[in-house]
Each structure stands twice: as C-alpha cells, then as structure tokens.
Amino acid sequence: MSEADRQMIMALGRHFRALWFSDECSMALKKKIIRILIREIMVSLDDDTQDLTFIIHWQGGCHTTMSMKKPLSGAIKYKTPEQDVDLIRNLSVRYDDGEIARVLSKLGRTTARGKRWNQTRVAYTRKQYGIPAADKAHLDPHILSLGQAVKYTGVSDTTLMKLITQNRHVVEIK
C-alpha cells in the first residue's frame, strides 16, 4: 500500500462516524464494510438469566466480548395483561365492544402498547383470545348496566362503583 493510499484510508477513519450516519451511505455499503471488518460472531444464551453473550472475531485477529439482555419478542412484550383479558371476558357476556372499551378507559386501562381502548381494539383482543361477543338476543333482563342501575337505585355511579369494587351486591332483582 502506498503512503498516499494509507493517508486516504486514515482520513476516512477520522470521518467514519459522519460517513456511516450520512444519508449517502446505503445499507448495502454498510453491510460490505461490516463483512470486511468482522470474520465471525458467536452468540450464546444463558437460559437462566436470558443474557446474550457475543464474541466478535475481527479480521485483524482481535476479539471483543459484549453482553445484553435478550430482547422480548413482540408477542411477550406487547401482551394484553391478564386482568384486562379477564375483564373483557366477563363483560363480553353482556356488553358490546364499544361499551367494554368505555369501561376499560374509565378504569384508566390502556392496551399493551399504551393506547386507549376503543371498539376495534377490544374486538381484536376478543378474537385473539377466543372470547365470544355478547349474544344480545339472550341477555338476562335482571342484570343492569351501570347507567340502568343508577336510574333504578337513585344512587350515583361513583357510589355504585365503590360498592362493586368492594364486591358488595347492590341490588338483586327478582
């Protein structure tokens, strides 16, 4: 290698970071650079701690070791909490997806991705967990919605919600 070539390569090295992150550096070029620099990467997983350990074998003969936690898959990371699934399962016996979404929102619950519940998201979650929709034709007329219970009892919805969360039976209609 001539001295001029060596100086040119050294100059590229000083500006490598700017080059790497510039819009002109394509993914194909980045892959070529990586393939030139790295001979192999060995990865091992510790099943107990879920730690990944990487050993990078560089073309020049050096080795670098690094570790990180194994990333969670989207299926685990963005799983609907069991508490919400149970609530959807219990409410879907009587209520449609829009009503269930309003209840979840009123309770301050969000989806696994942190979004507000809406009719579509409840329907998707029901389908995902095999929860059937309410059969409005065969509903028990003796069970009231919160709005109906407020009208029937003359008690505020806040008071009824407190009683419900304390698992107290407010009214039994026969």
Model confidence band, residue 27 (pLDDT cutoffs 50, 70, 90): very high
Structure confidence by residue, pLDDT tens digits, 136-151: 777 777 777 778 888 9
Same structural domain, 83 and 63: no
Query: Has residue 174 been placed in a domain?
Result: no
Choose the final residue of a domain: 33, 55, 71.
71
pLDDT at 35 over 80: yes
171 lies in a domain? no
Q: Say whether both 139 and 115 belong to one domain.
A: yes
Q: How confident is the model at residue 10 (pLDDT cuts 50, 70, 90)?
A: confident
% pLDDT > 90, the chain: 40
**pLDDT at residue 173 above 50?**
no
The answer on 107 and 63 residing in a single domain is no
- CA-based diameter of the chain, in Å? 98
Same domain, 19 and 54: yes
- Do 29 and 91 sit in the same domain of this protein? no
What is the identity of the amino acid at 142?
A: H
Q: Which domain holds residue 23?
A: 3-71
Least confident of 16-20, 28-32, 127-131, 169-173: 169-173
> 45-74 in b/e burial notation, b at 16+ Cβ within 10 A?
eeeeeeeeeeebeeeeeeeeeeeeeeeeee
Q: Are residues 85 and 161 in the same domain?
A: yes
Find the DSSP H helices in 79-156: 82-91, 97-106, 119-128, 146-153
Domain presence at residue 106: yes
Domain match, 67 and 81 both: no
At residue 164, the pLDDT reads: 78
Predicted pLDDT at 142: 74
pLDDT higher at 135 or 7: 7
Q: Which residues pair with 68 in a beta bridge?
A: 52
- Look at residues 71, 104, 129 and tell me which one is the last residue of a structural domain: 71
Please compute the mean of the pLDDT values over residues 76-84 and round it to a whole number.
82
52 plus 120 within the same structural domain: no
The whole-model pTM stands at: 0.47
Residue 170 belongs to a domain = no
Give the pLDDT band (50/70/90) at residue 95.
Answer: confident
Say how many domains are in the chain. 2
**Do 18 and 42 share a domain, yes or no?**
yes
